[in-house]
Amino acid sequence: MKVMTYFLAALLQFSATRPIKLEQSFSVQIKTAQVSVKADQRMPVSTWIRNLGSTDATIEVWSCAFPSEWIVDNASIDIEQPNCLAEDRRAIVLKPGGAYKRDVTISIHLGTANPNQKEVSFRMGFRNGVSRDEKHQPKTKPVWSNLATVKVTR
């Protein structure tokens, strides 16, 4: 009984001193560098990941594969992957209200299904850390951005 009491006391002390990981609140904002673009032309999109919480929050980003942490809700848009020689994962600490800004390059492809399309609207979703399950699917759900619209010419 005495051993069990010591065990429970140690367990309580251990659990009381370990930090509790809480789900953080983030928002994502995007802004296109141009209001119009030619089809298949590359274009940078500025991204901001903002901490909406009242405490410091950490996001994990890859130095080169940052674009792979993003998805787009429009099949006409491809996120370009940069050439890179060295890859590392970095933890970025965001203060309350703080933001991490980085550009992502996209290209817009107009398909043959709608050749007269003049505008393309899209949102981008950020997946923090991009951990994957055994089927190589992202474990984290994306945080979606505002809607952006770009005029597209052929």
Structural domain boundaries of the chain? 21-153
7/129: higher pLDDT: 129
Count CB-CB contacts under 10 A for residue 48. 15
Strand partners, 97: none
Q: Give the model's confidence band at 132: pLDDT under 50 very low, under 70 low, under 90 confident, else very high.
A: low
Domain over 21-153 is classified CATH 2.60.40.10? yes
Q: Quick one: tokens of 66? A: 């940052």
pTM: 0.75
CA distance 106 to 32: 10
**Average pLDDT of every residue of the chain:** 78
56-60, 84-88, 98-102: which range is least confident on average? 84-88
Q: Given pLDDT bands bounded at 50, 70 and 90, which one contains residue 139?
A: low
Res 78 pLDDT > 80: yes
What pLDDT shows up at residue 112?
Answer: 67
- Reading the block at residue 15, the tokens are 């659990």
- In this predicted structure, the answer to whether residue 3 has a pLDDT above a threshold of 50 is no
Report the candidate in 24, 127, 25, 123 with the shortest Cα–Cα distance to residue 66: 127
> What was the pLDDT predicted at 144?
94
pLDDT tens, position by position, 98-123 = 999 999 999 998 876 666 778 899 99
Mean pLDDT of 76-98: 85
